[in-house]
Structure 1
Amino acid sequence: MRAVFRRSAIGSGCFFTAVLAGFVLLATSFGIASPAPWLGSSNSLSQGQAGQHVFAWNEAPLQSTAKKGESELRRARGTDEKAVQWDQYSMVIAGQRTFLFSVEFHPWRLPVPGLWRDVLEKIKVAGFNCLSIYTHWGLQQPTPDPASLNFEGMHNLSAFLDLAKEVGLFVIVRPGPYINAETTAGGMATWTTRLKSTLRTNATEFEEAWKPYLSAIADIVKPRQISWDGDVPGRGVSGGSVIAVQADNEYHAGPTRDAYIRSLVKFYKDRGFWVPITYNDIGQQNSFVDIVDLWGLDSYPLGFDCSHPDKWQQIPDDYLARHERTNPDQPFIIPEWQGGSYDPYGGEGFGACAELTGPAFSKLATEAMLAQRVTWLSFYMGFGGTNWGGLAAPDVYTSYDYAAPISESRQLTPKHGTVKALAHLIRSFPDLAKTDRVAVEKRHDGVMVTELRNPDTNAGFYFIRHTDSSSRKDTQYKLAINTSQGIQHLPRAGGKLTLQSRSSQVICTDRTLPGEHHLLYTTASLFFAGAIDGIDTLVMYADPEAGPIETVFAHPPSASSFEHKAQNMTGQVAIKSSVDRMEITYDFKDKMGSTGSEDVSWLYFDYGPSPLLLVYAHYSAIDKLQANVIANGPVEGFANFWDLGAQETVLSYLSEPGLVRSATYSDDGAELRFEGQTNVTTLLKFVARQSVKMVTWNGMTVPFLEDGPIKTVGLTGLSDAVAAWKPPSLHDLEWTYADSLPELQADFPFDEYLVRANKTAADTNNPYFQDLLVQTQGQVLFASEYGFHGNFILWRGGFKVSSSQREGLKGIKLHLEGGRFFAYSVWLNGHFLGSAFGDKAHGAVQKDFDFGLVGLVDGEDAEQSLVIVQDHTGIEMEYGDLPIGLKGMNSTSLPLDGVKGSISTDQYEAVKLPRGIISYNFNHQKTRPQASKKEHINVTWHLTGNLHGEHSPDRFRSHLNEGGLFAERQGWHLPGFNNSDSWERRPPTEGIGRGWARGVPGVGFFRAEFDLDVPEHETHDVSLAFKFPAILRGDKDQGRRPKYRALLFVNGWQMGKYVPALGPQNVFPVPQGILDYGGTNAVGLALWALEEGENNGRLEEGISLEVVAAWRGAPGGGRDAIEVNNPTWEDLRRNLNGL
């Protein structure tokens, strides 16, 4: 995924709307004798007048744009394996045409492997059949030595891919080397910033850097590719569920870049990969189309500004045309589709992003893509997770919730229900995977309609939306559609259909259900269409305000009666039959005009060769509906895949919010075993095999409340103990405190604890060192050059001044780079000089610091000590106009003063933009001419970041978890650290400093321990979060926002960066597994006061631990142990020197 403040957001196409009007569409290409009129009126002709214009006032009919002729199956270059093939319509996997409805998940953003299943199953419940994942080179290989590669814990790719197959999800692996993903260095190994060669080119040095990493990835992925014997579609499948591997991500074409992508493709081909090598382009740049096997474009129509969540950008409707010009022999692929948005420091928070990209957008925009024949669509993100430690790039903060369908704390959001409905529509109508676009029309009254039609089955799909996708008006319209029974004018009952604001509609025609009921059409949105144990079932949903639902079936030949029975039917139903059809009209409103309290109604017909069940749901009820797939069939290892083995469904409905995680039958079909989650007393209605005589929920038998075709059982909510449980009060803990900036002390042994910054121009390959703004007396003061790549960086400059140099010495001008939203503080000889702050536009800040009354230590031989604490908001990702931040050279390689520079700006890579000191200059008072000619003051610099930098002893949490604060280097944040004898008892509400010096800027560390005893956590799922004081949001509160920053450590993990002056985050979820739900937990707070003032050095309201949500039902059904694996101080610090 790409941070897009430097590029335009790419939109998705047709939101297809119907309006009143009188244009005629011809569909003769598909053997339809009658024209394809979309918009009807009272002067339309009756059906049966084939070949005539339907409206007296229509314009010229549109010509079909559909391709004619048979499609040709293709596969990856250089392979005979047929497991993954494609044509111009869609993918064909194991011989079966497949619509890939995918979602993005990054396992490393949920560093508790025992919780992965929970997320994957919630993805599967949402109807997705595929998963897209990034692997993170920067996390997995901290040093240039290939021996540092790590595939344990959160990096266990083998375990993750095996789990995805077990759950029933295809996988697209995206290992980079560059991934973007709003993560530091775009996911590349941070040490590559020291390479001389330009990264992401065919340079030998860079290729030698990435090959060990990708070789290790390839060794894991290759045996997990899907394989097929090529005989019977859907049978003879083996291997894993990996169906594609992506080469790099979001790049720009160019000679060395083309060669780089070719080298990546060749790398996989030489290692015997047979699945396609794909590429995700930035929008529509058409980069590398001819190099990879399959090419797609990413699309984020609304962009990433959540500050105005009511403001929508237009959704382009020209994607299909561009696709057909670019790669017409391939399916239309969108490897990244806007599933939410990231949010920067100072942003509005993910609540606003959830509003911007909420259910309305997700439905309308995704249906727009379906209307443009996309058949491979991957939502970015499905679950965002957490930017723990130093994972984040400068554009984002700790939370990577992304306003995704599944929240950071693993809760289902309203968007989950919406994408679930879309996924089930796609699953219910396999004809969508192969369609031609018959025509598209933008009507004069603002409605747009697109017609797709399957050339084999003649099934039709009408997509209706406002031409202006941001329209806030409701529009009344009529529609004429082609069906197997001729032209149908909607609504048949008279009146008009309603297209509501910011909504869309898909009307599907001619779907024959397994029991031979033939659906001509319905005006409702469709959630599910299929058969359940011989019962043809149609689940529909709509907004009650949109008017009655019309559903029309052609009669089975043996139909003899239309007797039906209703359950929970609070609206009005009218049934009209004729020789060739049955018409059902359902109105959510009763005779008094009010909407009933029941949000789902059930209508059961027992006639013909098979019964028919119609389910009508309020739009708001789709969260409670679920169509779980049943694992069956002879496909070895692939029984859970709907597209291969799992061709049976159990339809369920919970009367209260919850989750039906899975449903399975006993061998004899007499027992139905549900797994799921509830938090209050709930009714579970379901349609399943009629052989079911017993039902269990999470292993416990539940009695029937109603039997018959629609069965009902009652479920309990939280146990009394869990419902009553409250986390311990953090305010009441015995907090201890210690100063975390001893480097301010005059006798601090810098040579022992810090690294000497002794590199010069001859020792660095970083092109920015040649920038004219870099003025550091020839010393390289870039942190990454010394192996420190994230979080806090501490600098100490030691210098001596002669008596002549002292004369007129006023202060120092510092220029530091730390990434957007960073800050730094400066002390001279232990006295605070001030702080400087970056913002959303500036990752480098220059400021004069006046020595003032602080002065220098007396004596010419006295050592003066300048200490700088800076934070580090992440290494830049590789995009944008360069250089970013440093402006020593302009685009023509000329310095700003017009003197010719020594290098080309083509060598200025964003990822190599330094973090550290760009320049420093001592300021003198110019009281007389010779004052500006003072002799040079030499400064000896030391620095530190996380303990041992790239060689961090903590391989489990990685080198990106910690920074350079004394507390972090000493391991005060780790479990098992013993400070009982030496530390002061003090809570965070009392602040840092000592005695009269309270409120003086500095860094302090607070630590406490607490026991958790979450009741019944083996059978319940309780999500917890640490809550800091609320962010003051209004402009009038700007001056009242505290000027401190805090790091939250939980059992050694850095799980939060709290910046109250910027916000927006003040709640930090921490998952079970990092928190020990049945043991002792260590919490640490590093508090950095950047300005004077008591409130700038204390947490006035303290912090609390709160329950985000609680459910009966263990995460992942309790099948995976949630291990607490938090390396301790004894593990990581006791035997280490040089702290």
Structure 2
Amino acid sequence: MLCNKLLLALPLPKSNYVLSLNNYSGISDLQILFRFHIDAKTNNGTITIPQKTGTNLLLDGRDAKIITTSYEFGSQHLLYSTSEIFTHFSQDSQDVMLVYAYEGEDGEFAITSSSDKISVNGTNAGVTSALNGTTLQINYQHPNGTTYINAAGQKGKDVLLVVAGYDAATKWWAPVTSSGKTVMIQGPYLVRSAEIQGTRLAFTGDTESTTSIEIVASKEIRSVTWNGINISVKRTSYGTLTGKISGPVKINLPDLTKSTWKYSPASPETNTTFDDSKWVNADHMTTNNPKLTPTTLPVLYADDYGYHFGSLWFRGSFNATSEITGLSVNATMGSGSAWVAWLNGQYLGGITQDSYTFKLNSSDLQSGKENVLSLLMWTTGHEEEGSNGDEFKTPRGFSGVALEGAENTTITWKVQGNLGGEHIVDTTRGPYNEGGLYGERNGWHLPGYPDNGWKSVSLPESTPRSGVSWYRTTFELNIPKEHDVPLGIKFHNSTSERYRSLLFINGWQFGKYANDLGPQSLYYVPEGILNHNGQNTIAVGVIAIDESVSLASITIETYGALRSAKPPVSLVESPTYSQLKSHYH
């Protein structure tokens, strides 16, 4: 083992060495290149490698290398290779090995020679070789591409050494056919399979553009197909096959800024006349939650009342007196969450911190009458557990709500979360799909909801909206067959006013967007949820944290496009509004 203040060469079983930096603490620039040699144990004894004068091993920053020594491949015995091995196999009269390293790095490859009449030819002029006794040493630099080196004259098989730069190596594939034969192909984005059918080599896979390919395969191969299409190929002087395969066609997506959207306000819970008689009474005077003790009663933890996911509504009624000077609220909601307060239908404020006190005056209250406090909490869910601190038990809701100046005033509370609570109504999409927004409880997010009575608008919208708003539209996709086009929905932010959004695609929730946080603005929606060849419904629920906000544009974006051999994707079962409407209010 070589070990000093900077470098570590760790021997592994079967004569491999892992090279890495031993101590990063004293290195200010991890982009620095370290040049060095190692003493490697081989079947020919200990050899300092690389041997050629003026060449070095290189380590780049936090990188590592695997150096292989005393290794059998095909009919060959590899003494050592300073390049890393990608793969190897035998075909016809050749043993093939693909090695790689970063572009410009020195490479040295040594095998045991069985003949003194070996000829070495490379497709790069920088290739040199030396026969020292029974050792054939080949030197080269890793190219910006691929170099082919043929060593002929061994008593067994010849050697085809394929030398790749790092970027080129990432484009090489080595699929194994069903009969157990390995072939190599460079160029495609993805190779799914390879089969040899007589003299024909058939590949399936994906391309992201029209791509030049190079194939290492038996000389018996006369023709090549890609996804069932014949490819014109030519045999090179060094034995490979070259050709081109087609990329994807241009993908046309609907422009949602030109779509007609339907809009509806959706926060009737803020009105004093709203009927909350079917809501759950929040009247528990104790809680089983051990994580956070409430500072006021009754308990206002949604989990205690069977609501565990999504947005939460709390409505409190009280008789006002002239002594009331403020409203003190302590929330427990998690990172990225927010809550909004209304008193008698009037906006008090939207808060992104846990604790806040609103100053109240006589004009805010109806003295001697029933007053209604509405609190809406938008959450990002419960904490995960990572430090054995029982953080996952942290409740969602409010640990304390008190009227300042009249702390003994009784507030009678109601709570509402997702429709049905623990007895969810949409068992297909599951418990995480819906929360307690009015639109969610009435199926506004579902395909087929009758929104024809809603107002027609376009996005981006110039009209500021307060409270909760819902937007819906439909769009058609027509993705060409034999293409894989991953798609996402992107929120574009053009306002400093804060809001939170829920994104539903065909009734499935696929995004929570906070415009004042980031960087999450593009939400991937997989094919199967999205109908790539038919109609789709998008619904967006928007909660204004500030008093009013204008929703910016929403667009459909690609993550790229591939001409692909992927199998067909079936649509996921997505119940429509008509199938579920009997459950919704």
Check conservation: 1:705, 1:714, Cα contact below 8 A.
no
Separation of aligned partners in 2, 1:692 and 1:1048:
52
Q: Which residue of the partner structure matches residue 148 of structure 2?
A: 602
Separation of aligned partners in 1, 2:386 and 2:216:
52
Q: Does 1:1099 align with 2:570?
A: no
Q: How many angstroms does 1:870 deviate by?
A: 0.6
Say which of 803, 817, 838 aligns to 2:332: 817
Partner SS state of residue 1105, structure 1: strand
Q: Which residue of the partner structure matches residue 985 of structure 1?
A: 456
Q: Which residue of the partner structure matches residue 915 of structure 1?
A: 396
Say which of 450, 453, 470 aligns to 1:1005: 470
Work out the percentage of aligned pairs sharing the same amino acid: 30
Q: How many angstroms does 1:775 deviate by?
A: 2.7
Check conservation: 1:737, 1:987, Cα contact below 8 A.
no
Q: Which residue of the partner structure matches residue 694 of structure 1?
A: 223
Q: How many angstroms does 1:496 deviate by?
A: 4.5
Letter of the 2:357 partner, please give it: D
Say which of 158, 176, 185 aligns to 1:652: 185
Partner SS state of residue 728, structure 1: coil
Q: How many angstroms does 1:854 deviate by?
A: 4.8
Check conservation: 1:650, 1:688, Cα contact below 8 A.
yes
Q: Does 1:679 align with 2:194?
A: no
Check conservation: 1:987, 1:1006, Cα contact below 8 A.
no
Check conservation: 2:501, 2:541, Cα contact below 8 A.
yes
Q: How many angstroms does 1:564 deviate by?
A: 4.8
Partner SS state of residue 1125, structure 1: coil
Separation of aligned partners in 2, 1:564 and 1:477:
27
Say which of 373, 381, 387 aligns to 1:866: 373
Letter of the 1:1128 partner, please give it: T
Separation of aligned partners in 2, 1:786 and 1:665:
64
Q: How many angstroms does 1:1019 deviate by?
A: 0.5
Separation of aligned partners in 1, 2:428 and 2:359:
44
Check conservation: 2:186, 2:215, Cα contact below 8 A.
yes
Partner SS state of residue 544, structure 1: coil
Say which of 234, 241, 245 aligns to 1:711: 241
Q: How many angstroms does 1:765 deviate by?
A: 2.5
Q: Which residue of the partner structure matches residue 523 of structure 1?
A: 82
Q: Which residue of the partner structure matches residue 760 of structure 1?
A: 285
Change beyond 3 A, Cα 1:991–1:1083: farther
Pairwise mapping of residues 470-869 of structure 1 onto structure 2 (< 5 A)?
471-497=30-56, 498-514=58-74, 516-532=75-91, 535-546=94-105, 548-556=106-114, 559=115, 561-566=117-122, 569-588=123-142, 599-607=145-153, 608-632=155-179, 648-654=181-187, 658-666=189-197, 669-706=198-235, 709-718=239-248, 722-723=249-250, 725-752=251-278, 754-761=279-286, 764-768=287-291, 771=293, 774-777=294-297, 779-801=298-320, 806-838=321-353, 845-852=354-361, 854-857=363-366, 860=368, 862-869=369-376
Q: Which residue of the partner structure matches residue 322 of structure 1?
A: none
Deviations 1:367-411 (A, max 9, x none): xxxxxxxxxxxxxxxxxxxxxxxxxxxxxxxxxxxxxxxxxxxxx
Deviations 1:1111-1135 (A, max 9, x none): 1114xx32x5332432211122x21
Q: Which residue of the partner structure matches residue 387 of structure 2?
A: 880
Letter of the 2:573 partner, please give it: N
Separation of aligned partners in 1, 2:423 and 2:462:
33
Check conservation: 2:317, 2:371, Cα contact below 8 A.
yes
Separation of aligned partners in 2, 1:489 and 1:1108:
48
Partner SS state of residue 460, structure 2: helix
Listed as ranges, the gaps of 5+ residues in structure 2 are none
Check conservation: 2:71, 2:77, Cα contact below 8 A.
yes
Separation of aligned partners in 2, 1:677 and 1:1046:
35
Check conservation: 1:782, 1:915, Cα contact below 8 A.
yes
Q: How many angstroms does 1:1068 deviate by?
A: 1.4
Separation of aligned partners in 2, 1:936 and 1:578:
97
Say which of 461, 477, 482 aligns to 1:1019: 482
Letter of the 1:1003 partner, please give it: V
Separation of aligned partners in 1, 2:166 and 2:361:
67
Deviations 1:965-997 (A, max 9, x none): 1111111111111111x21112343266xxxxx
Letter of the 2:485 partner, please give it: V
Q: Which residue of the partner structure matches residue 560 of structure 2?
A: 1109
Separation of aligned partners in 1, 2:569 and 2:511:
25
Separation of aligned partners in 2, 1:879 and 1:477:
42
Separation of aligned partners in 1, 2:141 and 2:426:
62
Q: How many angstroms does 1:476 deviate by?
A: 2.3
Q: Which residue of the partner structure matches residue 4 of structure 2?
A: 443
Structure with the largest fraction of helix: 1
Q: How many angstroms does 1:1071 deviate by?
A: 1.6
Separation of aligned partners in 1, 2:308 and 2:91:
56
Check conservation: 2:334, 2:381, Cα contact below 8 A.
yes
Letter of the 1:474 partner, please give it: L
Structure with the largest fraction of strand: 2
Q: Which has the larger radius of gyration?
A: 2
How many residue pairs get matched? 578
TM-score using structure 2 length: 0.93
Deviations 1:167-205 (A, max 9, x none): xxxxxxxxxxxxxxxxxxxxxxxxxxxxxxxxxxxxxxx
Partner SS state of residue 649, structure 1: coil
RMSD: 2.3
Partner SS state of residue 621, structure 1: helix
Q: How many angstroms does 1:824 deviate by?
A: 0.5
Q: How many angstroms does 1:793 deviate by?
A: 0.9
Q: Which residue of the partner structure matches residue 82 of structure 1?
A: none
Check conservation: 1:726, 1:1107, Cα contact below 8 A.
no
Letter of the 2:258 partner, please give it: D
Separation of aligned partners in 2, 1:712 and 1:496:
33
Separation of aligned partners in 2, 1:746 and 1:1030:
33
Q: How many angstroms does 1:508 deviate by?
A: 0.6
Separation of aligned partners in 2, 1:851 and 1:986:
36
Say which of 519, 523, 527 aligns to 1:1064: 519
TM-score using structure 1 length: 0.49
Change beyond 3 A, Cα 1:1052–1:797: same
Change beyond 3 A, Cα 1:1131–1:1024: same
Letter of the 2:184 partner, please give it: L
Say which of 1074, 1082, 1105 aligns to 2:529: 1074
Change beyond 3 A, Cα 1:952–1:571: farther
Q: How many angstroms does 1:661 deviate by?
A: 1.8
Q: How many angstroms does 1:910 deviate by?
A: 2.5
Listed as ranges, the gaps of 5+ residues in structure 1 are 1-438, 589-594, 633-646, 839-844, 883-908, 925-933, 993-997, 1032-1039
Partner SS state of residue 1079, structure 1: strand
Change beyond 3 A, Cα 1:609–1:853: farther
Q: Which residue of the partner structure matches residue 943 of structure 1?
A: 415
Partner SS state of residue 680, structure 1: coil
Change beyond 3 A, Cα 1:449–1:1029: same
Partner SS state of residue 299, structure 2: coil
Separation of aligned partners in 1, 2:92 and 2:323:
92
Separation of aligned partners in 2, 1:935 and 1:528:
75
Q: How many angstroms does 1:1069 deviate by?
A: 1.6
Deviations 1:98-125 (A, max 9, x none): xxxxxxxxxxxxxxxxxxxxxxxxxxxx
Q: How many angstroms does 1:485 deviate by?
A: 0.9
Q: How many angstroms does 1:850 deviate by?
A: 2.1
Q: Which residue of the partner structure matches residue 209 of structure 1?
A: none
Q: How many angstroms does 1:614 deviate by?
A: 0.5
Change beyond 3 A, Cα 1:923–1:670: same
Letter of the 2:22 partner, please give it: T
Say which of 1021, 1026, 1029 aligns to 2:492: 1029
Partner SS state of residue 629, structure 1: coil
Change beyond 3 A, Cα 1:871–1:1107: same
Check conservation: 1:1076, 1:1124, Cα contact below 8 A.
no
Q: How many angstroms does 1:571 deviate by?
A: 5.0
Separation of aligned partners in 2, 1:741 and 1:1030:
23
